Structure 1
Amino acid sequence: MAGPRKDSTKVRLTSFIVVFFELFATGSATAQVPLLLWSTDSLPSPASSVAGHITSYDQLSAYLTTAFASGPHTVLLFLQDKLSKDDFTVFGGVFGNERDGAFENLKAALQSSSSVTIPALEWSSSSAVPALLQEKLGVSPVLVDADTLSGLTVNTSISNLFLMNLPYCTRSLKSCKEDLHSNDEIIGKVLGVLKAKTIPYTAVYTGLQPSRVISESFVSEQSVGRSLLQAVAADVKPPIMYGETGNPCIMLWAQNLNISVSSTAAWTDLATQTPDLKDSMCNSSNALLVLSYPSGHKLSFAMSQRFYSVSARNWFTLDSVQLQFSGQTASFIGRRSIYAPAEYSFRCQSVNNFQGALLMPEDTSKNASQWRLNFIDFQIQGFNLANGTNFSYASDCAGFFTPGIWMGLLTSLLMLFIFVYGLHMIMQLNTMDRFDDPKGPTISVPQSE
């Protein structure tokens, strides 16, 4: 009996994976987050929907009303700072066959429990899902972690709502998998605590807001080459431009403009807000882009261009970046690596002041050592724009001779040296010019008595 049941489980799981990726295939401009729901009890089946359907807040409310209709429930809400369906497809391990995915504990929980997946839930605010669960259960959420939960006595005769906040990666895309794997370990540890206490539960995993993971499916639709915003896709926000309409003198684009006023404070992404550019200015030798945001933050980029006789051409540099908030000011100076030919733009995957820093605190700034800046996929140009809508060719901050290239060159040189030395030794071998005659007299050695 074990064989047929196992095959049936595989068939259902395969069908679930196919449906899930069909739902992923269609994008939408509406802000949305995925929501995963699983329970030790049986969950009602959701209403059938076509591929690409976006579940509304009212539809989720109606479903939870049915799911929590009878008896008290213990609900775990794993609320990540940011989450999108691309996090699952890029880092794998939940709905794919990757053995080293970032969500192994979550994958096991979904396969061993009654589960419901909502790939696209219409997102309105960060408090929508917690408020909805609080309304359906009639209890306020209790913020806990795995250690707190293990020492907590849970009364299953009444409804309980436990909230666990999970961070989202703020570093490079490569490190995101490690951060999401750490969150998955937290989920596994919390579920293990409830399993040890034999407490029935319903778990919900979603995000406070959508993340900004770029789907790999868009790569094949774009032309291959170093276009760098010369052909902006429909779903990519336009760059910030200052100057006359159709003829700007400063352009800036960034996927994220993350700032934090202390080493422990949460990140604020200014790229999600629309700035006021009225304090900006530009001329033939200097450019100042001032971004004033509704949240009270003011971010300034000061650039200059000058002629260098050694290279016989003009170069522009990002001289300083200044951040103002709540009457305080932090100033950072750009290192010499933030420069480009005057007719080029400057681009860098990450411009920050704490890891591989391109921005250094100014000596006269008191807050610069405490505040943090992290600009992701950053590109700026303050002079000689090619036309009114596009950046000029980009000078990238990544050097041509990366550590990997140096290692390859040194290894190749070492192998070449060994080959040349061996060839030289072989060429030095000489044959004997005279041999003993085997037919001649033998050598006799007299013995003395």
Structure 2
Amino acid sequence: MAGGDVTVDQLKMAALRKVSGSARMILQVFLCVFAAAKSDEQVPLVAWASDGFVLSPVDPPAAGHTVSVDELESALNRALSTTPNNLLLFLQDKLSVDDFTMYGGVFGNKQDSVFQNLEAALLSSSSSLWLPSVSSSAAALVSTLLQNQIDAAPLFMTPDTLAQLRLNASVAALLVFRLPYSSGADMMSTKEVLSGNDEVVGQVLSIMKAQSVPYTAVFTALGPSRVIEEASPAVHTVWSRSLLQSRREEPSAPNPPVEFKEKGSTCILLWAETVVVSQYRSGKWERHDLTSKTFGKGVTPNLSGSSCNETHSRLVLNYEDVLDYRSFKLIFVMNRRHYKVSARHWFTMDRVQLEYDGKMASFNGSRHIYAPSEYSYRCESVSSSYFPQLSPHSDKDNANDWHISFEDFQVQGFNIAGNDFSYASDCASFFTPGIWMGLVTSLLMVLVLTYGLHMIMQLRTMDRFDDPKGPAISVPQTD
């Protein structure tokens, strides 16, 4: 939605209801969750109303109980009966109660909290609803549950586009704000990303206040950011401290790779543990994780535009609503050539392209991403930022404003037998840092031993020694 004001009559959104409860109950509920049962697929959900509105009361779930889809729908049906029709849904990629305890002001240290705007909104609200243990399958349907109540589709927004709207308190509106999450292994740490998300929350609430539009807000996530293996059943008071037990995530089966078929046979395979794109705009890097949209059970990415033959392979991943772009494509271009020096065929990743709303950013990977044509290529990390294997293809496009990052990356575009990767040609060189350290250490030890042997061999003994029973040795002196 570019330029000009847009009326809400064109949008038709969904509204949310809330449940009464003081802001201090938030902390108690959070700590109860820490002392509750397992949270393998649990995310917290918090909702609050603007000034002058009170959420209808809902019985809080028992400590350790996970709210199912039916229970969440019932709770929202009761809570939404007395709240404004303008709903703000802040939907983060991942979230757990641990994020509030680690980065928030749960124990009173609010100066270091990254949720200052969220906490201020909860403390100023006359009522709020906290569901600290909602199943991830239920949280993923929050937008759908709200949409079904008013029979209108949600509108994905940003603070900039929200400022262009003319909201009407009498018209139901569901405004969805997608927020990223970082595991700390990429360009931005988790604390920085959560702080940026809280700034988005503050900007949205400021715009709603400036327009004098009442609203109902909900903050939740699509999945958990971390897993707590076990906890004690004891329930602590609001300000008591509890020791956090060590966590250990159980290994899970890897997601299947992206598979493109031509004439019934697989000709391109792609897999990565994480896929992240970032764009620099408004003076900062905005990050979006594409992993959940690309890999996973039940995920079928749109591969329209892909093609393959004996010498050329092109894999196109089509996405929607990535960094506020309606159309977003991630394209991998591979070619197979015969090299006379090695007398064999090799394939190279010539380009990795980003196409977004008619614009393009292109990266060259042929210098680093290559393998024999009958092999697959694998690398622990492929990035355009740190130790880049992907370099801007041209200064004329927008590649310098983008970063691409793949973790545990593997791709094969030719000579695929069945639907499995062939033997992988790893990007790691033969002389790894560990091998170099061993060689240098061994060389130093050899040098020390050689020097010691040389010193021993240079030792000389005297030809004659003093005999206490015989005459003393006299050394003649000459002038």
Distance 1:293 1:349 in 2: 24
Q: In structure 2, what is the equivalent of residue 375 of structure 1?
A: 406
Cα deviation, residue 339, structure 1: 0.7
> Which residue type is aligned with residue 62 of structure 2?
S
Aligned-residue offset at 1:435: 0.9
Pairing 1:28-427 to 2, within 5 Å after superposition: 33-34=43-44, 46-48=60-62, 54=68, 56-58=71-73, 81-85=92-96, 88=98, 103=102, 108=107, 117-118=132-133, 120=135, 122-124=138-140, 168-169=181-182, 172=185, 179-180=190-191, 208-210=221-223, 217-219=249-251, 233=254, 236-245=255-264, 247-263=265-281, 264=284, 266-271=286-291, 272=293, 274-294=300-320, 295-363=326-394, 365-387=396-418, 389-427=419-457
> Number of aligned pairs?
333
User: In structure 2, do the counterparts of structure 1 residues 431 and 382 end up closer, same or farther at CA, with 3 Å as the change threshold?
Assistant: same
- Residues 140 and 223, structure 2, Cα contact 8 Å, conserved in 1: no
Residue 419 of structure 1 and its aligned partner are, at CA, apart by 3.2
CA RMSD of aligned residues (A): 5.0
Mapped partners of 2:103, 2:224: distance in 1: 20
Structure 2 runs not aligned, ≥5 long:
1-29, 48-57, 81-89, 110-129, 148-158, 160-177, 199-216, 229-247, 295-299, 321-325
Contact kept, 8 Å, 1:334 with 1:358, in 2: the verdict is yes
Higher normalized contact order (CA 8 Å, seq sep 6+, divided by chain length) = 2
Amino acid at match of 1:293: Y
Letter in 2 for 1:267: R
* CA positional deviation for 1:251: 1.5
Compared CA separation, residues 166 and 14, structure 1 to 2 (3 A): closer
Q: By how many angstroms is 1:443 displaced?
A: 7.2
* Letter of the structure 2 residue corresponding to residue 397 of structure 1: C
Aligned amino acid, residue 319 of structure 1: D
CA distance in 2, matches of 1:16, 1:371: 39
Report the counterpart of residue 119 of structure 2 in structure 1: none
Check conservation: 2:64, 2:133, Cα contact below 8 A. Answer: no
Change (3 A) 1:325 1:62: closer
Distance 1:416 1:54, change over 3 A: farther
Q: TM-score, normalised by structure 1?
A: 0.57
Structure 1 regions of 5+ residues with no counterpart? 1-12, 38-43, 66-78, 95-102, 132-142, 144-164, 188-203, 223-232
User: 1:303 deviation in Å?
Assistant: 0.7
For 2:139, the aligned partner's letter is: W
Q: Residues 286 and 303 of structure 1 are in contact (CA less than 8 Å); yes or no, is this contact kept in structure 2?
A: yes
Q: Contact conserved, 2:36 with 2:63, CA < 8 A, in 1? A: no
Q: How far apart, in 2, do the equivalents of 1:208 and 1:285 lie?
A: 43
* Change in 2 beyond 3 A, CA 1:443/1:382: closer
Shift of 1:127: 7.5
In the aligned structure 2, how far is the partner of 1:347 from the partner of 1:255? 12
Q: Residue 364 of structure 1: CA displacement?
A: 5.8
Q: Is the 8 A contact 1:83 1:206 kept in 2?
A: no
Structure 1 238/353 Cα, relative in aligned 2: closer, same or farther at 3 Å? closer
1:233-263 CA distances to partner (integer Å, 9 max, x unpaired)? 5xx2542323233x21112223443334435
Distance 1:126 1:296, change over 3 A: farther
- In 2, Cα distance between equivalents of 1:416 and 1:205: 67
Query: SS of 2:61's equivalent?
Result: coil
Q: Secondary structure at the match of 1:437?
A: coil
> Retained in 2: the 8 A contact 1:23–1:53?
no
Is the contact between residue 23 and residue 51 of structure 1 (CA under 8 Å) also seen in structure 2? Answer: no
Assess, with a 3 A threshold, how the Cα gap between structure 1 residues 129 and 352 changes in structure 2: closer, same or farther: farther
What secondary structure is seen at the aligned counterpart in 1 of 2:223? coil
| Counterpart AA for 2:305 | D
The one-letter amino acid paired with 2:43 is V
2:428 counterpart letter in structure 1: A
Distance 2:74 2:220 in 1: 18
Q: CA deviation at 1:381?
A: 0.8
Structure 1 SS opposite 2:400: coil
Residue type at the aligned position of 2:378: R
Under a length normalisation based on structure 2, what TM-score does the superposition of the two structures give? Answer: 0.54
Q: Residue type of the partner of 1:292? A: N
User: Match for residue 53 of structure 2?
Assistant: none
Distance 2:390 2:192 in 1: 30
Cα shift readout 1:25-69 (whole Å, capped 9, x = no counterpart): xx5xxxx524599xxxxxx9943377776575347659989xxxx
Q: Residues 267 and 415 of structure 2 are in contact (CA less than 8 Å); yes or no, is this contact kept in structure 1?
A: yes
Contact 1:330 1:371 in 2 (8 A): yes
